[in-house]
Amino acid sequence: MLARLTRLAAAALAGLAVLPAHAEDKVVNVYNWSDYIAKDTLETFTRETGIKVKYDTYADNEILDTKLSAGKSGYDVVFPSASPFFAAQVKAGMYQPLDVARLPNAAGLDKGVMANLAKVDPGNRFGVPYMMAATGFAYNVDKIGKAMPDAPVDSWAMLFDPAVVSRFKGCGVSLLDTPTEAVPAMQIYRGKDPQVQNADSLAAAMEALTPLRPNYRYVNSERYRADLANGDICLAHGYVGDLVQSRSRAAEAKKKQDIAIVIPKEGALVNIDVMAIPADAPHPEAAHAFINFILRPDVIAGITNEVGYANAVPAAMDKTDPAIAKDPVIFPPAAVQAKLHTPPPPAGRDYDRARSRAWSKFRAAKK
């Protein structure tokens, strides 16, 4: 398609420009999730290093994956979720190994998180952790209280028990538009192991999900942040960091909304978003400088303070806003952490196909 043509053109241009590798431009092309960095991070980086930042954002792992699959994306630093996306991309050879000598700040990374990440990237060769958060849900305290005073607010039952979620249909419920979150969440709610990925486990989860569909006003991964803050919906499945942003926006809004965030008692997935350098990145040197800068305790603490996601740099804790450092949904206590699951690894091609198809059908089953 067009991407292919652009690639051909880019290859032709690359053939013309026989520049030595060290004559790298002082630019780094960063492709990150939306609302996922502090306001001053990029400015400070440019001021300190003289490297300009071209910054672009996305809303789904799938979009990043598509761009990387096409090749010649032109990006130098990207932020995929560890599993299954980063894991599959590492296997497909989409990244270049990190040069540890150029990342002195990586020594300060939490060993536990690195070990967890090594499950999908043996030896931590291709990525370092950026931010992490559980996937849970948030609700509007007043509206849920009115719809169901004795609602089981600490459980996935809020989203997945037909007798409960149907009570909130009127005030609006949203679900993340990706089977990589909804299917494991349903498995956890039903007391099953979310690591199990086969035709039977998929059928069981989808059978439980499909009749619930009319209760979800929409299935979308982006709109819930604003809608929850404005009071347009009262219950949203989402990434805890995004929900934290929504909660603070709701508290500042003209019509204040009281939002509570939950990591369900049954357990939840926790996503580590990593920083990685695509194999064909045009500015690998600048990319290393950027990653090293982000891993500096004061810089990453500033990002955590602004976006409400936890980082994996222990030395950043004393620079973190105490309200955030003590927030049990951002930095969960040990008892909660024990119930957090790393997302399942990439499944086979047949499972992926079946799941994608089942998801399309589920989304359409509203009537």
| 84 prior amide bond cis, ω within 30 | yes
Site for another protein in 242-271 (CB under 8 A): none
Sign of the CA dihedral 146, 150, 151, 153? Answer: positive
Give the residue with the Cβ less far from another protein, 177 or 285. 177
Tokens 């249909």, located at residue: 169
Tell which one of 98, 153, 159, 219 touches another protein (CB under 8 A).
Answer: 219
Confirm if 24 and 285 have CB atoms less than 8 A apart: yes
Distance between CA 85 and CA 62 in Å, rounded? 8
- Closest approach, Cβ 92 to another protein, in A, equals 4
Binding of residue 321 to another protein (CB under 8 A): no
Which amino acid does the sequence have at 278? P
Cα separation, 144 vs 168, whole angstroms = 7
Does the protein bind another protein through residue 119 (CB under 8 A)?
no
Choices 23-31, 200-208, 228-236, 289-297 (CB under 8 A): range interacting with another protein: 228-236
218 binds another protein (CB under 8 A): yes
Nearer to another protein, 315 or 365 (CB): 365
Q: Which of 80, 127, 136, 172 binds another protein (CB under 8 A)?
A: 172
121 binds another protein (CB under 8 A): no
| The only residue of 54, 71, 74, 266 in contact with another protein, by rule CB under 8 A | 71
Q: Does 352 bind another protein (CB under 8 A)?
A: yes
Q: How far is the CB of 217 from another protein (least distance, A)?
A: 5
DSSP of 188-255, one letter per residue? Answer: HHTT--TT--SHHHHHHHHHHHGGGGGG-SEE-SSTHHHHHHHTS-SEEEEEHHHHHHHHHHHHHSSS
Q: Which among 142-150, 230-238, 269-277, 291-299 is the span making contact with another protein, rule CB under 8 A?
A: 230-238
Using DSSP, state whether 93 is helix, strand or coil: coil
Please, what's the b/e burial string for 268-278 (b: 16 or more CB within 10 A of its CB; e: otherwise)?
bbbbbbbbbbb
149 touches another protein by CB under 8 A: no
Closer residue to another protein (CB): 102 or 169:
169
Residue with tokens 């053109």: 9
Site for another protein contains 146 (CB under 8 A): no
The DSSP string of 1-53 is -HHHHHHHHHHHHHHH----TT---SEEEEEEETT-S-TTHHHHHHHHH--EE
- Contact flag: residue 356 with another protein (CB under 8 A): yes
Pairing label, strands 268-276, 27-33: unpaired
The residue with tokens 């499972």 is 351
Closest CA to 72 of 42, 32, 102, 29: 29
Q: Which of 220, 314, 317, 342 binds another protein (CB under 8 A)?
A: 220
Select from 35, 62, 258, 321 the one that contacts another protein (CB under 8 A): 62
Tokens read off for 363 = 């989304």
Minimal distance, residue 298 CB to another protein, in Å: 36
* 88 contributes a contact to another protein by CB under 8 A: yes
Binds another protein (CB under 8 A): choice among 177, 181, 273, 285: 177
Does 349 bind another protein (CB under 8 A)? Our answer is: yes
Q: How far apart are CA 236 and CA 181, in angstroms?
A: 13
Q: Which is nearer to another protein, 227 or 306 (CB)?
A: 227
* Residue 66 touches another protein, criterion: CB under 8 A: yes
For another protein, the closer of residues 125 and 353 by Cβ is 353
Q: Per rule CB under 8 A, is residue 365 in the interface with another protein? A: yes
Say how far apart CA 247 and CA 226 lie, in whole Å.
10
Contact pick of 136, 231, 241, 332 for another protein (by CB under 8 A) = 231
Q: What six digits make up the tokens of 161?
A: 């028990």
Q: Does 363 bind another protein (CB under 8 A)?
A: yes
Q: Which stretches of the chain bind another protein, using CB under 8 A? A: 1-2, 4-5, 60, 62-63, 65-66, 68-71, 88, 91-94, 172, 177-179, 213, 216-220, 230-232, 279, 349, 352-353, 355-357, 359-361, 363-367
